[in-house]
Amino acid sequence: MRIALGIEYNGTNYFGWQRQREVKSVQEELEKALSVIANHPVEVQCAGRTDAGVHGTGQVVHFDTNVTRKMVAWTMGANANMPSDIAVRWAKEVSDDFHARFSATARRYRYIIFNHALRPGILNSGVSHYHGELDEKKMHEAGQYLLGENDFT
């Protein structure tokens, strides 16, 4: 059986999505939690990796298991076994040909610039701070090159 999960995470305390030796990753935390629920090692595939410190919302992953559980067991169980900065938001059984990365039809990226003379205290992990004057017209013009279908590989 193949299960897809929708997850979100605050990447501040992680060295990115992908499992790595000797450093914390979102993938490792999720796989450890799911392995507890499945009673066997679980490996997940994701729609797209994130770098160190980057947050994810709406990230889709999938994994295979031969264990039958209600979908709520996967969501609640995983959340109970992970740090509070990672959350499974939904679970759904999908067909065996579904792949989180290759079945994705869209990806969206959001960058927030906090444009103020002084840096924020509470928002510091969710925004980029820039204290100088920004040229919104030039930013908008440059942003047009990122719209549409692009192959950034």
Closest CA to 96 of 64, 71, 125, 124: 64
Residues of the chain with CATH 3.30.70.580: 2-94
Is the per-residue pLDDT at 112 higher than 90? Answer: no
Q: How confident is the model at residue 5 (pLDDT cuts 50, 70, 90)?
A: very high
Distance, CA of 3 to CA of 91 (rounded, Å): 7
pLDDT value at residue 127: 84
Q: How confident is the model at residue 15 (pLDDT cuts 50, 70, 90)?
A: very high
Question: Cα–chain-centroid distance for residue 2?
Answer: 19
pLDDT value at residue 109: 81
Is the per-residue pLDDT at 79 higher than 90? Answer: yes
Closest CA to 45 of 101, 103, 107: 101
Task: Supply the mean pLDDT for the chain.
Answer: 93
List the catalytic residues: 51
State the amino acid at position 43 in one-letter form: E
Distance, CA of 6 to CA of 75 (rounded, Å): 9
Question: What CATH number does the domain located at 2-94 have?
Answer: 3.30.70.580
Stated pTM of the model: 0.84
